Amino acid sequence: MTAHSPVFAKMLPLLLASCLLPGITGAQQIELSQQSWSAEVIRPRGQPVVPLFDGWFTNADGTRTLCYSFFNLNTEQSLSIPTGADNYLNDARFEAMLPTHFDPLPPAYRHKFCVFTITVPADFRRDETIEWHLTSANQQLSVPGHILPEFMLDEPASDGRQDLAPLIKLAPDAAGVRGRKGMVNSHTLHGKTGQPVELQAWVEHPNAQVWIGWAKHSGPGQVEFSALEYTTATGATPFTTQATFAEAGSYVIRLQSIDDVDAFEYYCCHTNIYFPVEISH
């Protein structure tokens, strides 16, 4: 299925249906709530990023974790939206590692899945919501996260499809983590502008190979990866990429791994890892 296929055109309104669309529009733009949804809404540039809610899952301690993602309607243009008035949560009780960099629409799997999570207490009510607000291309958009039963996700495995999130470790003898909640590397990496910084991890999975994807999650400047997306062998050998940063500042690099990239379409099951990086001149 491609971004211009009839099947995709039918799926797009369903994918975006949960997004709230207030009445803000530019002079040459049709407000999203007034657009006729088809694959033609996806263009090389000039379109907004749509915040999405993927669903939620229950943790062993009774808390729940909400998963948020995004759909960049541009096939060529990446967008930077700093946290603040144009990128925020409406509930100050909760913190999240919000993305500020939004890659173009990935052709292989349509949108970025569960790029950040929010964990809520066991007494979080079904009628409560946490809205993620994004403003881009003169469009103010938001999406509510909640714990309605019909949005419950399989995590970290799906019995029906036999999918299992990869176990990612940041050291060969570390315990590792499996699932979308993931973890943040406790060790901040350091580097200089224009000089490659090596990122590495280890992966375990019943399959001989799994998919790996790297992305800039947040930070001030452009990041180039020596290997952006690929399959890697599971087991004792680490997988790596080299990240080169154009500007000094604080960055977060996001690693996602899934047994097969096609499994993203079924919302199960991948693992997130976040690497803080400090870059100086």
d(C-alpha 166, C-alpha 226), whole Å: 22
State pTM to two decimals. 0.88
For the chain, which residues make up each domain, given as ranges? 6-151, 157-280
CB atoms within 10 A of CB 162: 9
pLDDT (average), residues 33-44: 68
| Per-residue model confidence as pLDDT tens digits over 185-221 | 999 999 999 999 999 999 999 999 999 999 999 999 9
Rounded to an integer, what is the distance from CA 278 to the centroid of its chain?
21
SS3 266: helix
**CA dihedral of residues 248, 95, 131, 121 (deg, nearest 10):** 160
Using alpha carbons, list the distances in angstroms from residue 103 to 60, 111, 115, 231: 33, 9, 12, 20
Binned at pLDDT 50, 70 and 90, residue 39 comes out as low
| Per-residue model confidence as pLDDT tens digits over 159-174 | 777 899 999 999 999 9
The CATH class given to the 157-280 domain equals: mainly beta
d(C-alpha 78, C-alpha 103), whole Å: 5
Binned at pLDDT 50, 70 and 90, residue 108 comes out as confident
- Going by C-alpha positions, the residue among 176, 171, 133 that lies closest to residue 271 is 176
166, 182 contact by CB (below 8 A): no
| Per-residue model confidence as pLDDT tens digits over 19-34 | 554 433 333 444 555 5
